[in-house]
Amino acid sequence: MFKFIVKSFFLLFVLAVVACPFLFLFAVIDKTPAVGKPPELSFDQVKRMEQLVRLYKPDSMSVRQTRQVELFEQDLNLMAAYVASEFVDQVAIFPQIRLSDPFINISTAVKIPQTPLGEYINTACVLKIENGRPRVHSMSAGFFTLPGSLITAALSYLGQALLAPDEYKLVLQNLDALQSVAINRQQLSFTYDWNPDALNRLHESQKSMLIAPEHQDRLILYTNALAKMCSTFKKYDVNKVCVVRVIRPLFKLALEQSNVSKNPVEENRAVLQTISLFCLGRGLEHLVTEERAANLISPESIALTLWDREDLVKHFFVSAGIAVSGGSKLSNFAGLSKEVADSGGGSGFSFADLAADRAGVRLGELATGSAQKASEIQQKMAAAKTEGQFMPRIDNLPEGIMELQFKKRYSDFDSNAYTLVENEITQRINACLVYQ
């Protein structure tokens, strides 16, 4: 009898272990999405995103200060849709945020490969504002719902398990910077204490985690190689050079380094990130540890050109740098939002700039797409004699288009008139030798 009971319990245990995953999948997979797919971003929405970034970006906040942010529900949904579409390449995520004092409801529908049970996983996270601070009230996936206290405890345990004690304290310190949160008439407002010192200390402690030590060494190698070239140019009183004279030796060095590291993808990533930082006038010190930064040679200022224009170099290589760091979608959007901003009062919307953006993204995609493609790009770029081999022609591409003129001529990004110019740019990029 005892043996029978033991065998029965053991059988039930095995069945539970086998059945639980299937029960979980049955409970979370649905045939219909709880959130509909958002429409493609329009001209006005891109303009609004650019305005929000410019209004609230902390780049210029070098001293400790208190900052208040106010966002309408539609702004939150716009940013959520943008993040989901631009940062996530592998799966489709449809987010939706609803404000209902004191709750912030965040729902998502994740599209997965077709299964007999359906092709969507619907999730929801509810935050509750208590005493001016947001707390996790609950999280759910399908029929499963977990209380906020359990989620908070799990996050705390993971934080302490994955981070060193000092790093965990810094994370909590930065989270505590959020001083108050409130919802009023479909608008979320929050106040935070911006502490650059605490953020810098957290960033310094996480450098090795965010950027692998071996990749930091690659960045230093290419930065120092670029610095030596700039020094040579300066020695002969050359202050402006075609970017080919810089990019060709750097990719030749990458080709040589790949024979040692056996990793052409990462070598290319480091090269493009190095030139991107140089074009932005930013040093490498904020990306590598202090110990490694001691080995850096700071490049002297040299103007680089594409088709005799300095602005195209920045568009091209910053887009390439973002593409190999944050993804092609992010890079394309960054270039587009810059042109939208210019149309509102800057130099105007420029399809020539957009061509440089798109070409830079293409180079980034191919340079880090696979080991074989990466090696091919190294060989082609190391042998490039003219910029036309990787940068398309810009003749007859409209420039200086102001906002009202843009809307009158092209209406929006999905119009036939706009698509015609985009197709022309794509054809010119395809004609470049490096991309064939």
Q: What is the pLDDT of residues 409-436, one digit of tens each?
A: 888 888 999 999 999 999 999 999 999 9
pLDDT classification of 196: cutoffs 50, 70, 90: low
User: What tokens were used for 429?
Assistant: 């990029």
More confident residue, 192 or 349: 349
pLDDT classification of 243: cutoffs 50, 70, 90: very high
Residue type at 58? P
pLDDT of residue 331: 54
More confident residue, 383 or 331: 383
Q: 200 pLDDT exceeds 60?
A: no
pLDDT classification of 164: cutoffs 50, 70, 90: low
291 three-state secondary structure = helix
Q: 197 pLDDT exceeds 70?
A: no
Residue 387 DSSP class: G
Q: 402 pLDDT exceeds 80?
A: yes
Q: Tell me the average pLDDT across 17-43.
A: 69
User: What tokens were used for 347?
Assistant: 């130099």
pLDDT classification of 91: cutoffs 50, 70, 90: low
Q: Tell me the average pLDDT across 316-327.
A: 83
Beta-bridge partner residues of 141: 123, 144
Buried b (16+ CB within 10 A) or exposed e, 213-252: eebbebbbbbbbbbbebbeebeeeeeeeebbbebbbebbb
pLDDT of residue 228: 95
345 three-state secondary structure = coil
The pTM of the full predicted model, rounded to 2 decimals, is: 0.69
Average pLDDT taken over every residue of the chain: 81
Specify whether the CB–CB gap between 355 and 400 falls below 8 A.
no
Place of tokens 């040093």: 283
pLDDT of residue 202: 47
Give the start-to-end residue ranges of the domains of the chain.
38-204, 211-435
Q: What are phi and psi of 115, to 5 degrees?
A: -130, 165
pLDDT of residue 417: 92
Q: Tell me the average pLDDT across 343-355.
A: 81
User: What tokens were used for 343?
Assistant: 């149309």
Buried b (16+ CB within 10 A) or exposed e, 378-396: bebbbebeebbbbbbebee
Q: 125 pLDDT exceeds 70?
A: yes
pLDDT of residue 121: 86
Nearest to 273 by CA among 263, 283, 258, 261: 283
pLDDT of residue 343: 61
Nearest to 214 by CA among 288, 277, 302, 278: 288
Nearest to 247 by CA among 391, 366, 75, 122: 391
Give dist(CA 191, CA 194) in Å, integer.
9
Report which listed range, 122-131, 162-171, 287-296, 353-362, is most confident: 353-362
